[in-house]
Chains A and B, each alone.
Chain A
Amino acid sequence: MKTSKKLIALLLSAIMIMTCFAVMNAGAAEEADKPYAGQTVRVLLNSHPWQEAIEPMVSEFEEATGIKVEITTLGEDIYWDRVNLGLSSAEPPFDVFMLSPNMTGYNGYVNGWIANLDDYVYQSEEYDFDDIYPYIVDGFRFPDADGSIYGIPLTMETYIVFYRKDLFEEQGIDPASLETMDDWWTALDQIQEAYGDQGIAPAVIRGQDETMPDELLAAVYNNWGDRPYLAQRMFYFDENWDTHFTDDAVKEGFRTWAKLLSMGPIGATSFTWYECVNQFAAGNAATYWFDASLFAGTFEDPDQSLVAGKVGYTAPPKTATGNGTTHWAWGLGISEASPVKDAAWQFIQWGTSKDINERTATATYGPVRASTWEAKSAEFGEEYCAAVDEALNISAPGYMYFNGAAEVTDKIIDAVVRISQGEDLEEVMAWMDGEAQAVVEKEGLKAE
């Protein structure tokens, strides 16, 4: 009896010890599996279709990694100021933030405020970084396309032309036959004639919008031909920082934009992309020019658009020098001062993974992975994919950054608005040339 009691006690003790080991092992395995569990990553996002799509999925990341994610979302009108202010502080109030190839990124790079991601991108084979289009990644390299990576793209946009297929059909115009810009001008005149008194404008395009100069680069490049230019200074400045706003291609780009602006609905001068999208989605414009391909997602959504199923897409039409456009992107970066950089990278790696890129693609219409485009092309529609494909074939990165670029772009907005309001093109462009020259001289880029 005593022996059996001892045996039972021994057995129970063995079971207890084994259970303890098992629990400890499981804990260790979990710890290895979730090395950053318990850390908190603060994420600052711009109000954007990607942000709307990703937010409901964040709990999956939290569950898989044990990392807590705190998201703050801001409208774009204040987003960049907050990023600048946050990055410049000793303790930025965010670890991960949405970044674009613009002055904020460049400024962050110059001041050492944003983290170099070179060592992270190839950590995981499964992540397959090379699946992300390299020409999109290049926009997040600083100081230039040969530099280090400071942001991982999550959506991209190329600048295309949107048009109302139903109106063109009603007017017997075959958009496929409109090959040149001149063809389009004739078609737009016909549209104006037919629908002007019905409140449908021939065109809509960004006006007084601080982001407009980014898109204007597409209109200028559409006239530039195959001449070389310096990335980051684009078509406006050469290697000596001499200005080229009186170049014929630049003038034609500005003239095109201003003419389209003057064809817009009442108040078009004050339109930002937001009003442009609303106007086109509400059926108040027959065409929408040189704007982000990803807006197709809004236009094809019957809940947001009255023109769903009626929209056609095309790359910018040919000019005397051929055709071209530009592209841009949104990405995610990490603040250099973040105390949880590795956990922050886990979030970026997850947010830009194949799975998430595919699951957010319907909302963004602008995935950045080749694999996602392959998987989603049927959903996006043949015409849209063809237009984006054609646009990307003739596209250049539309990124302009240097000390003083923000001031130059503000003057560009002034110039376009003045031309659209009837001022002489030559005079305005000569003024623009002088203003740009003054900025680069003031910034010490060019000796006076």
Chain B
Amino acid sequence: MISTKSLSRRGFLNMGAAAGAGLLLPKTGLITPAHAAGPLAPVAEEDAHIAFGHTGPTSDEGWTWAHDQGMKAVAAAFPKLRTSYVESIPYSADATRIYRQFVADDACMVFATSNYGDFLYDVAKRAPDVAFYECDGRNPLDNLGTYYVSHWYPSYVAGIAAGAMSPSGKLGYVASFPVPSVYSGTNAFLMGARTVNPEATLQTIVINSWFDPQAATQAGTALIDNGCDVLFGIMDEAGYLQVAEERGAKAVMWNTDLRRYGPNAYISSIIVDFKAFYVEQVRRRLVGEWTPTYDLLPFGGGVDVDAWGETVPADVAAKADAVKASIMDGSFNPFSGEIKDSKGNVKVAKGETMSEQELYHWNWSIEGVSGLDA
């Protein structure tokens, strides 16, 4: 469960209403709503309709599947309410139509499990009595909150193992879009790898989708053809893991334990778990406590590294586990200066540490990452 206490103990920002507009504030300092409005009125469990909008199919065994598990946890915790979901919502005006349809269907709470930007924002603005959440959202309203996972920490830890298991030092990354979650994921992964393999580099290929098994497979093949021997990515399915298995390379995945698709290639996965978050937010909505929150699920509390794959050497696993422990107890923060961008400029000076907002909004590649910066 996410509590303000544990967040601050670990040095996380509480992105709650009082303290937290900060996370959503880019450095340009745009004004966020003051959340002067009180909590939304309570809803009787038997009258409640909780709706989920997904970017991919719930059968993806990855991101959307994990959110669907969250929905099932909500249904189990509140058996009298109604849940519904729509899969594979495109990032077009169709998204607006689907979210409006949820509102028309009397949803009292809507979770968008991906960033739908204005398509969701416009709907939320016209439905002030409905609670909205946008995963990886940026633009809050009195009835629109945000949640995401601080995946950069587990990505860093997995990067350590990846660096140790890459003889060539050439890492590959199958990217969806050049967006902050991809920048933070690639940067953290390479920074981890460089602690054991200082010359390591990371090449990315952008495929313009979170769920396109064919394109992800092609991208993985191209990266290995180019000499990469460890693949990472931010895909909702297992495509490039199978490529790595066939080609004798290694891979780090996202969302769920996918080792059965490539037992020899599998190093680990960035595991996500939204069940507790969803149940808690639905509870707040039903009892009439709900105001929007800006939650970043912490390392170990919604996002983690999976158990190591069977081909990960014990000493490599031990080393990565030690770093994980030091991050989790707060004694070590990997995102400290000096950090240079891909053009060689010093972006984080020696002695400085990146804040959670900076990590959330990360939009530049570190030196050694290629393929994202325009």
Are both chains from one complex? Answer: no
User: Interface residues, chain B, CB within 8 Å of chain A?
Assistant: none
User: Interface residues, chain A, CB within 8 Å of chain B?
Assistant: none
